Amino acid sequence: MQRKTDPAHWDAAGKRPLTVAVLCAFVLLIDGFDTQSISYAAPQVAKQMHMSRDALGTVFSAALVGLMLGYLLSSPLADRIGTKRMLVLGVVIFGAFSLATVWTGSVSGLVALRFLTGVGLGAVAPAAISLTDEHSPRHLRATFVLAIYCGFSLGFVAAGFAASQLLTKYGWASLFWSGALLSLILCPLLMVLLPPQDVPVRATRNGRAKLTELFQHGRTRGTVLIWAIFAINLAAFYLLQSWLPTLLTGLHRDIGEVATATALSTFGGIVVAILIGPAMDRFGAGRSLAALYALGMILVGFLGPSLPASMWQLSLASFFAGFCISGGQKSAIALATLFYPASLGATGLGWALGIGRAGGVAGPLIAGMLLGNGWSATQLFILVALSMGAACLATLAIRMPEIVTRAATRPFGPASQAHMPQR
């Protein structure tokens, strides 16, 4: 099926692709806000509910398990109801259960609500990326996808700012009130301003994209390696975002310093997205992402010994850790988007995020167990740095069978997508 956003299909001002991109970026911003809020709220929640570090790791991972389920359900459900409706439904789900979190009074209730919130959070990301990719100009697909995914990182920054302003005055529940109300306000805007419901562009035989097609036409190796890359990167990403505020609070850093350091790790991911999106479109996704992971192998290890150091050293280390880890995750999403043809885009991305989310679940849990068994923060982040090296090797293995060349040079038209990638 022909993509709907060839340059000839833009309106006079190019408003349709930009409107879709801005709305999807706002959705991901609120998604990121809600995802990160629990990390800032965790010290107060743990104190109020008398939670151990192991129990806190379970709370962190509950939403990630829900995210994994949401990612896996999003694509087949969107094939039935349409991507726009899937996006709105996901926002309603995570907004409602985030609001319900305000009234929970037990650890088991908190775990259950974070899981259900995660299902909604997971459902919106593939839908938002798929809508943006469908309506973006053909020669700027990676740039548009990376640009809107910056909304997720900005949500992390917004959560840090809100935490610094709200936690000491109004308590941890204020963060969940904020995210829930923003998401429920956004729903009617999505229904009115997004383009009318279309037949999903990715529909294949019998109207559905099949999981087995991810392993056909020479895609098996690439699919498996993309899943591995997502698992490694998401483990590092959620370990960083979940435990950095708690580790800094344990060192008696004030909330302003905690919020600043965590926000800088997110800002680093935004900066690299601005740089690597055009690089991917021009030089190839695999080559660009592998270079970023190689840099992470060097820089991420400096974060651990910087936690108790001066604020400027902590800020630099946090920024560059996020530059490689958060930036790597955004770039991996663009890699997956470019790897699959349009008919498999949301299915391929949804499964990559879903399978990769196993790493996201494991990351905070493993960190909690290692820290509980006497590991230092320095040892922990050296381990994370080594994982960046593994992601680099996996990315290079995808690039070797010509994926980089195809991603950089194919015209993104229907004919080329129908045959991509074949070996």
Q: pLDDT by residue (tens digit) across 40-72?
A: 888 888 788 777 766 777 787 788 788 888 888
Q: Please state the rounded mean pLDDT for residues 268-276.
A: 84
CB 68 within 8 A of CB 360: yes
CB 330 within 8 A of CB 146: yes
Nearest-CA neighbor of 138 among 333, 6, 24, 13? 6
Residue 411 confidence (pLDDT) above 80: no
Tokens of 362: 């494991």
CB 22 within 8 A of CB 341: no
Confidence class for position 2, pLDDT limits 50, 70, 90:
very low
pLDDT of amino acid 400: 38
Amino acid at 240: L
pLDDT of amino acid 3: 45
Q: Does the reported pTM lie above 0.75?
A: no
CA separation for the pair 136, 131 (Å, rounded): 8
Phi, psi of 397 (to 5 degrees): -65, -30
The dihedral built from the CA positions of residue 3, 4, 8 and 14, taken in this order, carries a sign that is negative
Q: Which domains can be identified in the chain, with CATH numbers?
A: 7-200+207-418 (1.20.1250.20)
CA separation for the pair 48, 54 (Å, rounded): 16
Nearest-CA neighbor of 44 among 29, 30, 59? 59
CA separation for the pair 283, 370 (Å, rounded): 39
Residue 403 confidence (pLDDT) above 50: no
Residue 177 confidence (pLDDT) above 50: yes
Per residue, what are the HEC states of 218-230?
CCHHHHHHHHHHH
Residue 199 confidence (pLDDT) above 80: no
Residue 94 confidence (pLDDT) above 80: yes
